[in-house]
A and B are shown apart, each in its own frame.
Chain A
Amino acid sequence: MRKWSVIGVVYVVALILLWVYTGRVGMENRGFIFAGYGITWGALLWYAFRLESRERTTARAVESFEVAGAGD
């Protein structure tokens, strides 16, 4: 889980850098461009994170059945 905290931090830092960059280069409509790329990365990272959480939870559940079923 710590891995995702790190990823989260990197993501936020990247967002900040992107915002600063678009400003320094003088991009017009920087809000929309920033939002677009931010949402893209955010959505994909979030989905990967959720998938991993679900994997973990389900794996644990399957294990608990194994332990409980032992000796049946």
Chain B
Amino acid sequence: MKKINYFLAALLGLSFSFASAQTPKGSVLIKNATVLTVTKGTLQNTDVLVQDGIIKKVGTNLSAPSGVETVDATGKYLMPGIIDAHSHVGLDVVNEATSPITSEVQMKDVVNPTEIGIYRALAGGVTISHAMHGSANVIGGQNATLKHRWGTKNPNDIIMMDAPRTIKFALGENPTRVHGRGNGIQPRSRMGVEAVIRNGFNEAIQYQKAWADYDSASAQKGNKATSPRYNERLQTLADILDGKIIIHCHSYRADEIYMLINVARDFNITKLVFQHTNEGFKVAPEIAKYTMGASVFADWWAYKFEVYYSTAFNAAILNANGAITSINSDSAELIRHLYHEAAKTQRYGGMTDDESLAMITINPARQLGISELVGSIEEGKQGDLVIFDSHPLSVYTVPQMTFVDGIKYFDIKEDKNDQRLTVSPTEMVENVYLRQQTERCMQDTEHLFDMAGNLFNQN
């Protein structure tokens, strides 16, 4: 039986869905909602049927197949699950801040599916977050794209297995402070940052060549070839050069953004997204032409020198120049109301409803390489959906239900006071009660700045 399944799977090219078949998939019929598809306009009084985790039908007068639950959403709004392109929620480790390049480090190794921040994000309609390495290193670790399937204790259940690989880069003050000022090594300046990246890629090219030479030599009879050392760090950089990994680069200033665009062009890299990008508006045409866009804050700046030159019109200007633009949180608090953050682009930039909503749905999906699967309400896409009581861009709106793969993980009516998945047997008052956990780009590097901590903000 198993054999036949595998055979069928291979035949139908479904091997992948088989591999990830362990994660739960549900079916639900949402009736009579105002459906904000994001990519195909707004549909009044429309039904959406999700079957086995996939949006089967969007239309009117749909009836639920037997056994499928119906949710009456009359007077309510249905939108695609919100996607946060920059988050550190659900990670036990954020920064391996010990080397300017740590591309071998994988956030998938340290995912913690029981972190309460995931549930809080669900309560804000966020179904997917991009759990990133921090910004301490020029080239940080590889990130994990998470689907918020709350309730499991197995990290694999929340890692979006069909998302492509992404990696964190960081420019400017953070890596120069950690490694240059903190440790006295390259990079001490923005020039050093560029040198670290270029040297890294050049070494990766040599590494690829060494292995190619070894592979061809060792195929010969009677050869004397010995293998080079294995180096996952350089192999990962080589994978970037081969287009297998999307770069997500922490950046603020226009000069350094343009620098990385030039580096990417020199190495024929096209899979590049800028994060934060506060001065992105100055180089918006270049970002639009050469990259996969920018993921920005709605209005968060002035927390250190390199983010003084900022504007709330950033997202609108980038968008108007044709750059794929998303709004992100980089915070366990902001992630709970990204729809407010998106709405700010209407106040500052006069964007349309669809343009604003795209910034927290289809646009981040494009930047994460998952727009074929999620990010809009279209037949064939995954059933990640949120029901709001009023329009999601209204300041009065409150998310009601959040679905991932057709399964309801948040319902405001069934929201228990205590949602912890794990409870300490020995601590009467756990951290989750004492303070809100804010994940930050510079988490795990605090010890490097015992002295400087008071002087420099570490975002």
The yes or no verdict on A and B being binding partners is no
Interface residues of B (CB under 8 A from A): none
